[in-house]
Amino acid sequence: MSVDWRQTLRTLATQFEAHAARSCGLHHLFVEVTDKERDKMSGPAWFKPLVGKIPDRNGEPQFDPWDAFASDGLPGVGPGFRAPEPHETLGDVNTEGMIRDTSGVVRAIAVPMKIRVGYFCGQPTGNLSGFKSLANAAAMALAGASDLHEHMFAGELTDIFTTPHGVVRYTFGDVSVVPNHSIACGWDAGVLSFKNGVLIDVPVAEMATGVGQWLLMLHRLGWFRLPGSGLHAERFAWHENVEVAFEMFSTDYSTCPEGLLKQFEHISRDSYYSLLGTKDAPLDICLASAFAIQLLLADLSPEISQAPSRVEPSTDYSREKWKNRPLPSIRTATPEEAKRAKNRKPLVGILVATKTEKTGVLKRMYPPEGSDSVLQVYSGNNTCFIGRLGVIDIVLCMTAVGSTSRDSSGIVTSELIEQWKLSAVIATGIAFGKDPDKQAIGNVLVAEQIVPYEPQRVSENSSEERGIPILAGTVLLNRFRNVVKWSFSAPDKRQCGFQVGKILSGEKLVDDPEFKQSLFQRHPTAIGGEMEGAGVAAAAERKKCEWIVVKAICDWGDGSKTDDHQEFAAAASIDLVEHVLKQPGALEALVSKG
């Protein structure tokens, strides 16, 4: 008979709360280190296990909130493999950790195992055994659940409570033959190499579900720091007495003082410690468990309804300057002009997927040097427009909508880079936004990463994300991230602004509140979505070409979709692109790369 895990957690929540009320303070900290950094397993410099005589007051022992009195193992991270990063210098990578295809190309790099150790801190009372009993029951309930893949925290829950069996299989590049059995050799990885790819099977060491998984979940959910929730956790990387918030490594901290940057150089990005609450205000683990159950039950409760669709008011754009801007003179290039254009080699390719997006770009283009018109050039299967945007020579090309059809963004991007020997490509146009309460129509989304949401492994009881996020080009991302003095306003004089973050990309024209909600539950840190970025990013990476996606919000993908704001959004996105391409010397680094 199957047990309803939600009902089990409701019952356990009451017991966690009762334990928290009686607790004198039971706290938790865990450390994650690579196998080569085992010397850091005892935690940061300020954290020391309880040693020596315990101080007392009026005959009562006095404990510091972070005095560690017990340790316990947490699920570790087994060894694995990753694809080389674009433009990654492999000189610092151990050659034994590289997996090459039969052509000699490095397709995979070994990722070392990581070890986690947890510390119980505070008052060493009988509360610990009570907590462990409740935590074990909660972990077992989640391990037996069949619908965690539908949850807001599906990524965290399935990763922690859905145990892989046997082997984990990795494929990189083109793999022509996929065996239906494991090729692992005992506890050693098995490798099949092909002309343009490799397949790797890594054996998995299984760990029984229990307290360790529950504690790890508390920390991982706490890292989200969701408004309205009492569950909060913090991560820090450190070297000796210097600490930095772990999230800082995912931001651009190049503008920090030089002295601070030198200190950061010694801090490993592969190791960190995490604590529930904060150092000054630790969170009792029983109370943290009650808060976590509140989050878990809020998502899948049948009483939770979908957020209502956001219907944007109609807007009169007829008097806007961008709306009334005329198209430049455009004519078909003569054979001699077409040849000169290819010899001149435009630096940047601009990719669009709709007529509205194409018109928005054409309105901003000027004739190339030596011509009186923007030139229409037929290049292989594609029709291109040659001209200047800002101070940069560009080639504009329209793809089909999406990333996988015959004329899709992936195919056209690859052909465009090859035909014109481009140094960079920029996909611009329209996107759907995530949150109308925090974003607005016309806000421009700049892709720090493109996250392909279509690839998934789907089994009877769970699903696993298989889309690999792709990081935007180094130079382009830096230039867009550091934009200053850009202004583009709506008819009501509201400034559009721009936001840098993860953008989802898939084949679906999203206009359904339930599907949209599921997307952002699977990818809670994404800022919006569109349909062509995955193809552009993948093709550009294969060609070792810089790329970025810059698209503005035209709707919310929640069932209220109209075309009313597409032209405005397309104008906003190309305005930001033009602003960057106007800056003298902004793309000189791409010229030197080319």
User: Would you give the end-to-end CA distance of the chain in angstroms?
Assistant: 64
Rank 300-304, 509-513, 551-555 by mean pLDDT and report only the highest: 551-555
Phi, psi of 134 (to 5 degrees): -70, -45
SS3 of 71-108: EEECCCECCEEECCCCCCCHHHCCHHHEEECCCCCEEE
Q: Would you state the pLDDT for residue 257? A: 63
What are the respective helix, strand and coil percentages of the chain, to the nearest 5?
30, 25, 40
- HSE, CB side, 13 Å, CA atoms: give it for residue 374: 23
Q: Would you state the pLDDT for residue 306? A: 42
C-alpha distances in angstroms, 120 versus 14, 16, 69, 76?
Answer: 22, 16, 6, 18
Rank 3-12, 61-70, 184-193, 533-542 by mean pLDDT and report only the highest: 533-542
Rank 82-91, 119-128, 372-381 by mean pLDDT and report only the highest: 372-381
The tokens of 51 are what? 């040693």
Phi, psi of 169 (to 5 degrees): -105, 135
Per-residue confidence band for 584, with pLDDT thresholds at 50, 70 and 90: confident
Phi, psi of 426 (to 5 degrees): -130, 120
C-alpha distances in angstroms, 410 versus 20, 351, 352, 399, 421?
Answer: 54, 11, 12, 9, 16
Mean pLDDT of 13-25: 84
**Other beta carbons within 10 Å of 193:** 17
* Sheet architecture: strand order including 68-73: 68-73, 114-122, 26-34, 272-276, 233-239, 242-245
User: Which of 20, 26, 122, 128 has the alpha carbon at shortest distance from 68?
Assistant: 122
Amino acid at 429: G
d(CA 475, CA 486): 19
Chain-centroid distance of CA 543 in Å reads 22
Per-residue confidence band for 300, with pLDDT thresholds at 50, 70 and 90: very low
Q: Would you state the pLDDT for residue 64? A: 79
Q: Is a pLDDT exceeding 60 seen at residue 299? A: no
The answer to whether the beta carbons of residues 125 and 275 sit under 8 Å apart is no
Angle among Cα 290, 33, 46 to the nearest 5 degrees reads: 75
Q: Would you state the pLDDT for residue 3? A: 60
d(CA 469, CA 449): 6
User: Sign of the CA dihedral 416, 422, 426, 428?
Assistant: negative
pLDDT 10s digits, 420-434: 999 999 999 999 999
- HSE, CB side, 13 Å, CA atoms: give it for residue 154: 23
Amino acid at 120: F
pLDDT 10s digits, 224-276: 887 667 898 999 988 888 888 887 765 555 555 666 666 667 788 788 999 99
d(CA 283, CA 281): 7
Proportion of the chain above pLDDT 90, given as a percent:
45
d(CA 350, CA 570): 13
Mean pLDDT, rounded, of the chain: 85
Phi, psi of 258 (to 5 degrees): -60, -40
Q: Would you state the pLDDT for residue 311? A: 62
d(CA 249, CA 245): 8
d(CA 462, CA 149): 5
d(CA 363, CA 357): 10
d(CA 594, CA 589): 9
Counting Cβ atoms within 10 Å, is residue 192 exposed (0-12), middle (13-18) or buried (19+)?
A: middle
d(CA 561, CA 558): 7
Counting Cβ atoms within 10 Å, is residue 490 exposed (0-12), middle (13-18) or buried (19+)?
A: middle
pLDDT 10s digits, 523-565: 888 999 999 999 999 999 999 999 999 999 999 999 888 899 9
Q: Would you state the pLDDT for residue 398? A: 96
DSSP class of residue 91 equals G
Q: Match 């000027």 to its residue by tokens.
A: 366
- Domains in the chain, please, with CATH? 5-78+113-162+207-300 (no CATH), 79-110+164-205 (no CATH), 330-589 (3.40.50.1580)
Phi, psi of 48 (to 5 degrees): -135, 135
Q: Would you state the pLDDT for residue 92? A: 64
d(CA 531, CA 507): 6
Per-residue confidence band for 58, with pLDDT thresholds at 50, 70 and 90: low
Residue spans of alpha helices (H) in 389-458 = 409-420
d(CA 305, CA 168): 37
Helix axes 211-222, 154-161, angle to 10 degrees: 160
pLDDT 10s digits, 484-504: 889 999 998 888 989 999 999
Phi, psi of 428 (to 5 degrees): -130, 160
Give the three-state DSSP class for 311. Answer: coil
d(CA 441, CA 10): 40
Out of 51-60, 84-93, 195-204, 400-409, pick the least confident.
Answer: 51-60
